[in-house]
Amino acid sequence: MTTTIGLVGAGFIAGRHVDALTAIDGVIVAGVADPRTDRAEVLAARCGATPYARWEQLLDAEQLDALYVCVPPHAHGPVEEAAVDRGLPLFVEKPLGTDLAPAERLADRIDAAGLLTAVGYHWRYLDTLERARELLADRPARMVLGAWLDRAPRVDWWARQAGSGGQTVEQVTHLFDVARVLVGEVEGGWATGSRSPDGPGDILDVCTAALRFTSGAVGSFSNSCLLPRGLRIGVELVAPGLGLWLTEHQLVVTDADGERTIDRGADPFEVEDRAFVAAVRGEAHDVRTSYREALGTHRLAVAVATAAADGGTVRLSEAASPAGSAGAGADR
- The CATH number of residue 149's host domain is 3.30.360.10
Task: Look at the chain and report how many structural domains it folds into.
Answer: 2
Same domain, yes or no: 153 and 296: yes
**Residue 323: per-residue pLDDT:** 75
Which residues pair with residue 38 across a beta bridge?
none
**Strand boundaries in 27-133, DSSP class E:** 27-33, 50-52, 66-69, 90-92, 117-119
Same domain, yes or no: 308 and 235: yes
Same domain, yes or no: 118 and 192: no
Which residues have CB under 8 Å from 134's CB, separation 6+? none
DSSP string of 81-109, one letter each residue = HHHHHHT--EEEPSPS-SSSHHHHHHHHH
**Residue 328: per-residue pLDDT:** 37
Amino acid at 283: E
Residue 266, Cβ density class (10 Å: 0-12 exposed, 13-18 middle, ≥19 buried): exposed
Same domain, yes or no: 116 and 152: no
Buried b (16+ CB within 10 A) or exposed e, 13-28: bbbbbbebbbeeeebb
Which residues pair with residue 258 across a beta bridge?
255
- The DSSP code for 319 is P
User: Does the residue 294 lie in any domain?
Assistant: yes
Could you list the pLDDT tens digit for every one of the 332 residues in the chain?
A: 999 999 999 999 999 999 999 999 999 999 999 999 999 999 999 999 999 999 999 999 999 999 999 999 999 999 999 999 999 999 999 999 999 999 999 999 999 999 999 999 999 999 999 999 999 999 999 999 999 999 999 999 999 999 999 999 999 999 999 999 999 999 999 999 999 998 999 999 999 999 999 999 999 999 999 999 999 999 999 999 999 999 999 999 999 999 999 999 999 999 999 999 999 999 999 999 999 999 999 999 999 999 999 899 999 865 455 675 433 334 55
User: Does the residue 328 lie in any domain?
Assistant: no
Q: What is the CB neighbour count within 10 angstroms for residue 76? A: 21
Residue 328, Cβ density class (10 Å: 0-12 exposed, 13-18 middle, ≥19 buried): middle
How far apart (Å, rounded) are the C-alpha atoms in residues 99 and 203? 14
User: Does the residue 327 lie in any domain?
Assistant: no
In which domain, by residue range, is 96 found? 3-122+272-281
Residue 237: name the closest of 173, 141, 134, 130 by CA. 141
Tell me the angle at which helices 268-281 and 12-21 cross, rounded to the nearest 10 degrees: 60
The answer to whether 233 touches 148, Cβ cutoff 8 Å, is yes
Same domain, yes or no: 113 and 133: no
Percent share of the chain, pLDDT over 90: 94
Same domain, yes or no: 212 and 277: no
Same domain, yes or no: 160 and 298: yes
Same domain, yes or no: 143 and 65: no
Among candidate residues 239, 256, 281, the one where a domain is terminated: 281
The answer to whether 63 touches 3, Cβ cutoff 8 Å, is no
User: Does the residue 307 lie in any domain?
Assistant: yes
Same domain, yes or no: 206 and 61: no
How far apart (Å, rounded) are the C-alpha atoms in residues 175 and 95? 12
Same domain, yes or no: 154 and 276: no
**Residue 324: per-residue pLDDT:** 59
CATH value at residue 46: 3.40.50.720
Note the Cα 144 to chain centre separation in Å: 19
**Residue 330: per-residue pLDDT:** 42
Same domain, yes or no: 73 and 147: no
The answer to whether 24 touches 277, Cβ cutoff 8 Å, is yes
Three-point CA angle 34, 273, 116, nearest 5°: 85
Strand order in the sheet with 242-246: 258-263, 250-255, 242-246, 232-239, 143-149, 218-224, 206-213, 186-194, 312-314
Tell me the angle at which helices 173-182 and 127-136 cross, rounded to the nearest 10 degrees: 40
The answer to whether 182 touches 298, Cβ cutoff 8 Å, is no
Per-residue pLDDT tens digits for 259-278? 999 999 999 999 999 999 99
**Residue 325: per-residue pLDDT:** 43
Q: What is the CB neighbour count within 10 angstroms for residue 93? A: 24
User: Does the residue 332 lie in any domain?
Assistant: no
Same domain, yes or no: 154 and 175: yes
